[in-house]
């Protein structure tokens, strides 16, 4: 009995220490209707998530957890203690819809109601056949300090959502985009307004594309570091209305995104692309450092405007005050036939056509 009491006291002390380490020097003082549910190795994260109420925190201690987790409770925080909290695929592929889809963590609203105020933080998701963290129909989702490594399609992805914040994440060696944001991939539709989604201070490395923004408007991609991808940042639109655009790509560093990726059904082969706009309008690309992106793809170059594969032109985009060096075939490339795209005050040596530097 004495040994059992010591065990419980030791475990409680460990829990308090972990909570203090994650949230501050001292354990948080929870409101009467909020709780912190602590998960230890060998326990189920999903069970703790299912038991949580809106506003609660599920804190996952260091260790490896082999499962997929679905979050459908508004205001929930699902947090690890850092990269040492690892979520990998479980053996039961039919455990829930998230597992069936090959995803690690799913934050899911419905067609009728967005799920609001969820936070996913401070953990690693790796080895899933589809996506590390996947979100659908969310409002105000925050994903921060998440490491998404070697997932089959996307590292972190969000569709049909608004007011998201993606901050200080690392997405590395994922099959497609490290960070993928879109209106929807299941149907044809015009670009959606994200309400000011923010993608900032993330590190994207070794993916096919670092950051893809597909058929979206009103968001900011800022202060991210992208290297070793086949392409850095893609802003993608098509023939649907409204076009993708009315967004800002600023203060990012894109260095040697020279990995080679083969052609797909939707996109030509990729290598050496820094920032690409295709089928986009009214986008501001400013104060980015774009260095050493070199390739022989039709989309290669430092900052590239490219007529979309469905024939949609880019219009009224402003490329200004960027620093470009050592990109090939050129620092600035414009093969688009759209109107009123401007290139001003950029520091660069070569452009196609000539005269844009």
Signed CA dihedral, 70, 74, 76, 78: sign only: positive
241 falls in which pLDDT band (50, 70, 90)?
confident
**Whole-angstrom distance, CA of residue 74 vs CA of residue 142:** 12
Q: Report pLDDT for 22.
A: 52
Residue 190 has pLDDT above 60, yes or no: yes
Count of residues for the chain? 357
Judge if pTM exceeds 0.85: yes
pLDDT in tens, 135-188: 999 999 999 999 999 999 999 999 999 999 999 999 999 999 999 999 987 767
Residue 9, pLDDT score: 33
User: What's the average model confidence in pLDDT over 266-281?
Assistant: 93
Mean per-residue pLDDT over the chain, rounded: 91
- What average pLDDT does the segment 43-49 reach? 97
* pLDDT tens digits, 339-350: 999 999 999 999
pLDDT at 13: 42
pLDDT at 10: 38
> How is residue 336 written in tokens?
């688009």
Beta carbons of 40 and 10 less than 8 angstroms apart: no
Q: Which helix (H) or strand (E) holds 130?
A: none
Residue-wise pLDDT for 62-120, tens only, equals 999 999 999 999 999 999 999 999 999 998 877 799 999 999 999 999 989 999 999 99
Which string of b and e fits 13-23 if b means at least 16 CB within 10 Å? Answer: eebeebbeebe
What share of the chain in percent tops pLDDT 70?
Answer: 91
């Amino acid at each position: 009995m004495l040994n059992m009491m010591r065990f419980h006291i030791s475990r409680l002390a460990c829990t308090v220490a972990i909570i203090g380490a994650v949230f501050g020097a001292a354990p948080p003082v929870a409101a009467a209707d909020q709780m912190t549910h602590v998960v230890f190795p060998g326990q189920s994260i999903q069970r703790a998530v299912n038991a949580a109420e809106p506003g609660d925190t599920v804190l996952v201690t260091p260790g490896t957890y082999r499962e997929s987790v679905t979050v459908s409770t508004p205001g929930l925080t699902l947090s690890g203690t850092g990269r040492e909290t690892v979520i990998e695929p479980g053996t039961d592929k039919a455990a829930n819809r998230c597992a069936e889809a090959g995803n690690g963590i799913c934050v899911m609203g419905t067609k009728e109601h967005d799920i609001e105020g969820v936070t996913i933080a401070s953990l690693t998701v790796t080895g899933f056949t589809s996506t590390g963290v996947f979100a659908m129909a969310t409002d105000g989702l925050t994903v921060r300090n998440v490491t998404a490594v070697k997932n089959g399609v996307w590292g972190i992805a969000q569709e049909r959502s608004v007011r998201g914040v993606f901050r200080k994440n690392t997405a590395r060696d994922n099959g497609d985009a490290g960070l993928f944001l879109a209106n929807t991939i299941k149907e044809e539709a015009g670009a959606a307004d994200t309400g000011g989604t923010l993608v900032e201070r993330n590190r994207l490395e070794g993916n096919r594309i670092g950051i893809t923004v597909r058929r979206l408007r009103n968001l900011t991609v800022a202060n991210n570091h992208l290297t070793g991808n086949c392409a850095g940042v893609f802003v993608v639109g098509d023939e649907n209305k409204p076009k993708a655009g009315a967004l800002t790509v600023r203060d990012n560093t894109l260095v040697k995104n020279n990995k080679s990726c083969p052609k797909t059904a939707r996109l030509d082969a990729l290598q050496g692309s820094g920032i690409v706009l295709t089928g986009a309008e009214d986008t501001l690309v400013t104060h980015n450092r774009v260095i050493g992106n070199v390739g022989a793809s039709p989309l290669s170059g430092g900052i590239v405007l490219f007529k979309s594969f469905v024939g949609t032109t880019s219009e009224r985009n402003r490329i200004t005050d960027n620093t470009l060096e050592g990109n090939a075939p050129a620092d600035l490339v414009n093969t688009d036939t759209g109107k009123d795209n401007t290139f001003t005050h950029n520091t660069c040596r070569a452009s196609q056509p000539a005269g844009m530097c």
